[in-house]
Each structure stands twice: as structure tokens, then as C-alpha cells.
Amino acid sequence: MPTYRFSAPARLVVLGSGSGTNLQALLDAASEEEYAARVVAVGADRPGIEGLARAERAGIDTFVERVRDHPDRSAWDAALAEQVARHEPDLVISAGFMKLFGPRFLDRFAGRTLNTHPALSPSFPGMQGPQDALDYGVKVTGATLFVVDGGVDTGPIVAQVPVAVEPDDDAAALHERIKTAERAMLVDTVGRMAREGFSVEGRSVRIGS
Ligand code: GRF
């Protein structure tokens, strides 16, 4: 059973594609001495995003790896893995990173790459979690933190948080409320994983021993 334990503080590389509010929550938490993890680098698949600006303001290394700068997806995947590896992460956190990892990335970081998804898995995988939840008419949705595997939002679940759907919600309003809960879950869970370690056996993830 793969088991991970880290010397404090654990090294986090965070990957994003957009506004980076989950990243900011991790940066804020990690600025506290007692939080057992530090963000050592932030990567993106496109330049000019707020997530990179947040990292720069915090004085953290950044990198950008664009698919279009590579002959194919596999070459991009290998280059992304190289960039991440340079920062010697204990955990890789995909927080709003809008690309699927390929086999070359997962060969290196599977088991210790986490992703957040704005729905309660296994419901509503993919890019439109909040809209799909509204369209289905569920009364409760939420966010899921999981260990990345080769599928779309299919990996072993680490933590989930429920969020009630309100009668007048549109996808944007619902997603904003989900993100508030998602950020708290991410910070709390990554902190516990960094402090206590974790193991993955089949679909079961256990934090601590
Ligand atoms: C989060 O809700 C994440 O689950 C989804 O995209 C959003 C990213 O938000 N994949 P941010 O960039 O962290 O603000």
C-alpha cells in the first residue's frame, strides 16, 4: 500500500489555470508557522493569469508550460513533469488546473497529486460541475478533493464537503459558494496530510496511521 510521510514543512507545487483563489488560501495558510506545508512553486498552462500574479506577489517561483509550445500532448506532459520535478515537491496540488495529466506526469507523481473538483464525486465529473448539478436538480452538491488518476475526476477520494443548492442559484453563484467551502476543505486536508502523512489502498485514502 503506498504510504507517504513528509518532513515538515512539506513542499507543495500548485498548478492552476485561472483566478487562483484556492492557491491563495494555501499561500495564506502556509504563511503561518504552524502549518506543516509550504508552497515552493506555482505552475500554469497559460501566462497572464491571476494565479501566477498571486504567486509573484508572494515571492514564489512560477513557471508556465503551454501545450502549443510542444509538438504534441505527450511532449507537453513530459515537460510539465520536468518543471514540477525541479521543485522537488512532496505533494502536487492541481487547483483549477484545466488540463488532464498524461501518463508521463502520472508515472512520476501519481499517488501524491491531488485535485479539487466542484461537485460531490462520483456525480458530475468534468468542466461544468456546478451547472450539471443545477441541471440535474440536486439539492446538495459540494466539492471533492481526490488523488489524481488517469480518469476525469475519478481518483480515490480524500475529502468532501457538502453545499446546499439554493432555489435562485445560477451556476456562478453556486460555484462561488462551493469555492468558499472548497478552499477551507483544501487547506484543512492538505495541512493534515502534510502533518500526519497518508496512505492509499485501492479507492481508500487514510490520513495518518
Ligand atoms: C475550483 O472550483 C476548482 O475546483 C475548479 O476550478 C475552480 C478554481 O478556482 N476546477 P480558483 O482558480 O482556485 O479560484
- State in Å: Cα 12 to ligand 1 middle: 17
Residue 117 a catalytic site member = yes
Residue 23 CA: nearest ligand 1 atom is: 13
Least confident span in 1-10, 34-43, 96-105, 176-185: 1-10
Alpha-carbon span 202 to 56, nearest angstrom: 38
Question: What is the CATH topology of the domain spanning 3-202?
Answer: Rossmann fold (3.40.50)
Residue 1's pLDDT band, with cuts at 50, 70 and 90, is confident
Alpha-carbon span 20 to 28, nearest angstrom: 12
Q: What is the pLDDT of residues 144-171, one digit of tens each?
A: 999 999 999 999 999 999 999 999 999 9
What's the pLDDT at 2? Answer: 85
Buried b (16+ CB within 10 A) or exposed e, 29-55: bbeeeebbbbbbbbbbbbeebebbebb
Is the CB–ligand 1 distance for residue 18 below 6 Å?
A: yes
Q: What is the DSSP string of 129-180?
A: HHHHHHHHT-SEEEEEEEE--SSSS-SPEEEEEEEEPPTT--HHHHHHHHHH
Q: What is the pLDDT of residues 94-122, one digit of tens each?
A: 999 999 999 999 999 999 999 999 999 99
Residue 14 has pLDDT above 80, yes or no: yes
pTM of the model: 0.97
- State in Å: Cα 36 to ligand 1 middle: 23
Question: Which secondary structure element, helix H or strand E, spans residue 53, and what is its range?
Answer: helix 50-57
Is the CB–ligand 1 distance for residue 20 below 6 Å?
A: yes
Omega before residue 125 within 30° of 0, cis? no
- State in Å: Cα 156 to ligand 1 middle: 19
Residue among 116, 120, 121, 163 to mutate when testing ligand 1 (max atoms within 8 A of CB): 116
- State in Å: Cα 116 to ligand 1 middle: 7
Residue nearest to atom 12 of ligand 1 (CA): 20
CB 145 within 8 A of CB 159: yes
